[in-house]
Chain A
Amino acid sequence: MPLLDVQNVTMKFGELVANRRVSFTVEEKSIVGLIGPNGAGKTTLFNCVSGLCRPTEGTILFNGENITGLKPYQIASRGAVRTFQVVRPLKDMTVFDNVLVGAFLKCSDNKRAFKKAEECIELCSLGSVKGKLAGELSIGGKKRLEMARALATNPKLLMLDEVMAGLTSTEVKESVDVICNLRQSGLTLMVVEHVLEGIMSIADKIVVLDGGIKIAEDSPERIVNDDRVIEAYLGAKYSQRYKSEGRVH
């Protein structure tokens, strides 16, 4: 049984169809990358899974349970926790208190929650700024805070929405390392990413969206050779040239 099973999800905003009959699965202890050009419907799909949007049609199963249309906090307490692409720090609280709010989900007593928060802060290398107000962090710091806060809830499935966007290549490498470590500790990850160099090297499976429709679901090696994917990313004209020049991988 897959940990997350998205079945025929359609999300319409009025006449605009952001996702059309998207289906895919996320296996336990795997990393699934969700990629696609701007406006492909990646974040909308994320919002449907995390409960921020109620899908117009379709079903979402998490751990065998139907979670379609549940409230975000209900989904989070079942163990599917997300970060936001546009960072949302709790500005007037310290970095430590931000993470602590996440930690309180599974640890109700102070001592365990404080320990959990401390761990997650170290893991996301925020130790030096933990007493600072979250609103005062740099963008890279805020992205790491998003991750630390979600991690502190002790999730089964961690959904990362573009945590690498806008980071320098060293920072991307650091994030990749953190994600790999998380998988080793038994976590399942679903990662929306624009930075392909980051995600291609670590994902077990890539799901490609274009114009709200799933156009491919396969291992990274096969995805990079998929004609439809190349066309979606490079356009038909370039895809032709790319092919005639021969591929180098």
Chain B
Amino acid sequence: MVGRSVELKTFSSRDIAWLAFLALLVAVPFIPAIAANSFRLHVLILILLFASMSQAWNIIGGYCGQVSFGHSVFFGIGAYGAGMAVVTYGMVPWPGIVVGMILAAVVAVIISYPCFKLSGHYFAIATFAIVEIFNRVFLVWDWVGGALGLDYPIIKEGIGNLMWHQSKVGYYYIALVIFVIIFGMVRWLEGHRFGYYMRAVREGQETAESLGVNSTAVKLIAMALSAAMAALCGSFFVQYNLRVDPPMVMSLDMSMKFVLITILGGAGTLVGPLLGASVLIPLQEYSRAIWGGLGGGVDLIIFGILIILMVVKQPDGLIGIIRDVRRWLSKKRTKEEL
């Protein structure tokens, strides 16, 4: 973060790089090597989804500094919103997605209001408990399908039902739209008052308050935004898998994934969640494909080792390593010039 520009952060060269990258992402399904192999497209869809989901977590966990292990609950609420609209009520998923997002934001505010009175590790511990509570409640709650979950019927494919059977290209573009919405929102926040307030609350709550920042309000709004975006990702996840049950979405495993992807990439940075997801998701999917017979979990072992190395060597994440390499290169260059 050293030497970061102090000019108006409304538009910078970094944004141009992002736009170029997005243009590349739009073109990806036309690349023959990917179009011919649906597994590769599947990995890309998951990278986009988990980058978006981790970015949603990054709002409250990275920028605002409130580490939550409860985000699978909001992810799950979004998943059930879309799932129940289709399976239980026989509708298109869209109203369910909207209701899920609103509900996730409301639930997030209700459960985090008391939890924000706790600070640091205690907040994180409280959010652990919340995942367990929701998981158990959904397992026994018949209205939402209980332990059996919800299985999608085979209905007409297309954007209306948000469902495709023949190819994954439709899913890919929906994932890309979600990616643009969430990354775009975080990018906008970064350059505006609310973004600065979130970082001020992370760096020192009392200091922020002494400057007129209502830290409780900032945290609650950040949490609501984060939860609504998590629900959006959850609803896509259920449309993609065409089924949902409590352990699939509302589990500590899932929560951990969002947190670890962000930390691996670099918490509190725009590009961090994308970097983290681009490393973890291929690792997860390919190791599952190759060593699936070992009973699964190989990806988590490798990922655990990566996280340990990262925390010990470069707590700022992959983005920190990139920064170190750049600094080393520029030092080398100035030495050569001398």
Q: Which residues on A are within 8 Å of B, measured CB to CB?
A: 50, 52, 71-73, 76-77, 81-82, 84, 88-94, 96-97, 100-102, 104-105, 108, 110-111, 113-114, 130-133, 149-150, 153
Q: How far apart are B197's CB and chain A's nearest CB, in angstroms? A: 7
Across the interface, do B193 and A81 meet the contact criterion of CB distance under 8 Å?
no
B201-213 CB contact bits vs A (8 Å, 1 = yes)?
0111011111111
Q: How far apart are B269's CB and chain A's nearest CB, in angstroms? A: 11
Contacts of A133 in B (CB 8 A): 1-2
Q: Which 8 A-B pairs have the closest CB atoms?
A: A90-B203, A76-B212, A105-B212, A72-B209, A96-B6, A77-B212, A101-B200, A88-B207
Q: Which residues on B are within 8 Å of A, measured CB to CB?
A: 1-6, 8, 10, 191-193, 196-197, 199-200, 202-204, 206-215
Across the interface, do A110 and B10 meet the contact criterion of CB distance under 8 Å?
yes
With beta carbons under 8 angstroms apart, the residue of A104, A132, A149 that contacts B193 is A104
> Whole-angstrom distance between the alpha carbons of A84 and B207 in the complex?
9
Query: Known: A52-B206, A104-B196, A110-B10. Is A92-B1 also a contact (CB below 8 A)?
Result: yes
A90 — nearest CB in chain B belongs to which residue? B203
Q: How far apart are B315's CB and chain A's nearest CB, in angstroms? A: 12
B217 — nearest CB in chain A belongs to which residue? A73
Q: How far apart are A25's CB and chain B's nearest CB, in angstroms? A: 23
Query: Known: A104-B196, A113-B193, A131-B4. Is A91-B212 also a contact (CB below 8 A)?
Result: no
A77 — nearest CB in chain B belongs to which residue? B212
Contacts of A132 in B (CB 8 A): 2
> Whole-angstrom distance between the alpha carbons of A105 and B196 in the complex?
11
With beta carbons under 8 angstroms apart, the residue of B197, B206, B209 that contacts A104 is B197
Across the interface, do A153 and B212 meet the contact criterion of CB distance under 8 Å?
yes
Query: Known: A93-B199, A133-B2. Is A50-B210 also a contact (CB below 8 A)?
Result: yes
Across the interface, do B8 and A90 meet the contact criterion of CB distance under 8 Å?
no
Query: Known: A104-B193, A110-B192. Is A149-B211 also a contact (CB below 8 A)?
Result: yes
Q: List 24 A-B contacts (CB under 8 A).
A: A50-B210, A73-B210, A73-B213, A76-B211, A77-B212, A88-B207, A89-B204, A89-B207, A90-B204, A90-B207, A91-B204, A92-B1, A92-B203, A96-B6, A97-B196, A101-B200, A101-B208, A104-B197, A105-B213, A110-B191, A110-B193, A131-B3, A131-B4, A153-B211
Contacts of A76 in B (CB 8 A): 209-212
> Whole-angstrom distance between the alpha carbons of A97 and B63 in the complex?
14
With beta carbons under 8 angstroms apart, the residue of B8, B200, B207 that contacts A110 is B8
Contacts of B202 in A (CB 8 A): 92
Query: Known: A73-B215, A110-B8, A132-B2. Is A84-B197 also a contact (CB below 8 A)?
Result: no
Across the interface, do B211 and A93 meet the contact criterion of CB distance under 8 Å?
no
> Whole-angstrom distance between the alpha carbons of A132 and B5 in the complex?
10
Query: Known: A110-B8, A130-B6, A131-B6. Is A105-B1 also a contact (CB below 8 A)?
Result: no
Across the interface, do A73 and B209 meet the contact criterion of CB distance under 8 Å?
yes
With beta carbons under 8 angstroms apart, the residue of B5, B197, B210 that contacts A81 is B210
Contacts of A94 in B (CB 8 A): 1, 4, 6
> Whole-angstrom distance between the alpha carbons of A185 and B193 in the complex?
27
Across the interface, do A88 and B204 meet the contact criterion of CB distance under 8 Å?
yes
Q: How far apart are B58's CB and chain A's nearest CB, in angstroms? A: 15
> Whole-angstrom distance between the alpha carbons of A72 and B8 in the complex?
29
Contacts of A153 in B (CB 8 A): 211-212
Contacts of A81 in B (CB 8 A): 210-212
Contacts of A110 in B (CB 8 A): 8, 10, 191-193
Query: Known: A110-B191, A131-B3, A133-B1. Is A150-B211 also a contact (CB below 8 A)?
Result: yes
B215 — nearest CB in chain A belongs to which residue? A73
Most buried by B among A71, A91, A97, A132: A97
Q: How far apart are B77's CB and chain A's nearest CB, in angstroms? A: 31
Across the interface, do B211 and A91 meet the contact criterion of CB distance under 8 Å?
no
Across the interface, do B203 and A93 meet the contact criterion of CB distance under 8 Å?
yes
With beta carbons under 8 angstroms apart, the residue of B4, B6, B204, B211 that contacts A102 is B211
Most buried by B among A94, A96, A101: A101
Contacts of B3 in A (CB 8 A): 131
Across the interface, do A114 and B1 meet the contact criterion of CB distance under 8 Å?
no
Q: How far apart are A158's CB and chain B's nearest CB, in angstroms? A: 12
> Whole-angstrom distance between the alpha carbons of A168 and B284 in the complex?
59
A91 — nearest CB in chain B belongs to which residue? B203
Q: How far apart are A22's CB and chain B's nearest CB, in angstroms? A: 21
Contacts of B206 in A (CB 8 A): 52, 72, 88
Most buried by A among B4, B197, B215: B4
Most buried by A among B6, B191, B215: B6
Contacts of A82 in B (CB 8 A): 210
